[in-house]
Amino acid sequence: MMQKVNLGMIGGGTVGSGVFHAWQHNGTLMAARLGVQLGFRKIAVKAFDEPRPYRIPRALMTTHWQEVVHDPEIQIVIELVGGTGIARTMVLAALAQGKTVVTANKALLSAHGPELFAAAAKHGVNLHYEASVCGGIPIIKSLREGFVANQFPAIYGIVNGTCNYILSRMAAEGADFADVLAEAQKLGYAETPPDLDVDGFDAQHKTGILASLAHGFWVRHENIHTEGIRSVSRMDMQFAQQLGYTIKLLGIVKRCQMRGANSAVQVSVYPTLIPNAHVLASVNGVFNACFVRGDVVGDTLFYGRGAGKDATASAVLSDVADAALDLKHGTEVRVPPFVDHARKGRVLPMDEIVSRYYVRLSVVDKPGVLAKISAILAAAKIGISSVVQPEGHEGESVPLILMLHDAPNGAVRKALAKIGQLTAVKAAPVMFRVESFD
C-alpha cells in the first residue's frame, strides 16, 4: 500500500490556489513518480470568498492558520503568506511542531534566515525554499545538490521579471522608463507602488539567498549594494546599444579573493551593461535567468519564468516532493537547508569592487573640456578605453560618453564627484558598471 503524506497550506490566494490546482492536475503523476501519495488536509485563507484564480473546496479551508500548524496529521506545511511579520510566526510555530516547512517567501528568508534555519536544525526538520528565487527555475536544488562538488567563482542573475520587462521594452522601443512602467502597471507586470521591484529590493533578497547558499555564510541584506533601474534613461539605452551592449538589472555574486578560509565575495544588484554577444543579453520580457560558473562544471545557464502562480507552484511542489521522500525514507534532513561551512567569509565593500564603467556626462561643447575630464581621471589612475561624443553645436550642452578601464568603484565615485563640479559639466554624471564575464 502506498504511503500517504498529509499537506497543510497557509495562504490560498493567487499562488496558493495555483499550488492546489497544480496538485489536482498532476498529483496522480507525482504519486506514481515518488511512490508517495500527497493529500491536502487543510488550507488557511484570509477569507473564504476572496478572489482566487483557481477554486479551493470550501471543506478544505479555514480562516485560522493555527489549525494547519497544530493539526497532528499534517506533516508538511506550505507557507505562502508573504511578508516578514506574521509569516515568521507561522513558520517558527510549524517548525516547533516538528513539521517540515516549504516557503516561497524570499523577504522572510532575507530578513530572518539565520533564525529560521537554526529553528529547523533545533527541531530536526527541514526548511525548503526553492520557490523563493527565480520562480519555477530549480536554481536552489541545483546549487545545493546538482553542483555539490563545485565551488562558485561567479553567479549572475536576472532575477526580477518586472525590471527585465521594463528594460526589455525600453531597449526594443526606445521608450522612457516612466512610460513603460505605467504600462507595466496597467498590464499587471508591475505593482503599485513598484518600489520593491524597480528599486532593486526584490532582486536584493534573491541575490542574498543565492550568495549565502553558494558561499556558506549568511549574507545580510544591508551588506548588499543595491541600485534600481529608475536611473536608466532612453538615452543610456541607445548609447549602450551603439557600443554593443544591453542594460540589464543584474544580481552579482562573485568571489574576489581568497585568503585561506576567508573568502571575500562581491554581492550586489545594479543595472549593468552586458555585451550583446553574451547569452544573458538575450533574456527578455518577464523571464529570469541565472548564469552559474562552477569551478568543476564550468558555465551553466538556467532560464525560465521567475514569477506567476504556475511557475511558483511547480517549485513549491518540487520541494513538497523532496520533503515527502525524506519522510518516506525516515531521513527528515537528507540535505540540510543551509550549511554554514565558511563562517569567516565576508562581503567585499562596494568601493573595493573593481569593474569597467560607462559614464555619461552632459557638457558644454567647447575646446578643453575633455582635457580637464581626462586630467581628473588620470590623477585617479583611471584609464579611458573609448569616447563617444555626438556632433553638437558649439557652446551648447551635449552628451559625452566615456568607457573606462577596470578601476575600483571608490576611485571612480570620487573622480566623478570632482568632474561633476567642473563648470563645463551641466548635470550630475551618470554611471553604470560594465560586466565582461571574464
The Cα angle at residue 173 between residues 307 and 188, in degrees rounded to 5: 30
Marked catalytic residue, from 99, 106, 206, 248: 206
Strands 100-103 and 298-305: unpaired
* Residue recorded with cell 568603484: 409
- Sign of the torsion formed by the C-alpha atoms of 362, 368, 374 and 376: negative
Q: What is the CA radius of gyration of the chain?
A: 24
Strands 225-226 and 262-275: parallel
State the Cα–Cα distance between residues 318 and 178, nearest whole angstrom: 38
Q: Is 122 a catalytic residue?
A: no
Paired residues of 434 in beta bridges: 273, 356
State the Cα–Cα distance between residues 43 and 12, nearest whole angstrom: 7
Q: Which of 258, 56, 53 is CA-nearest to residue 153?
A: 258
Cα 22 to Cα 18, 53, 132, 250, distances in angstroms: 6, 12, 18, 31
Give the active site residues.
206
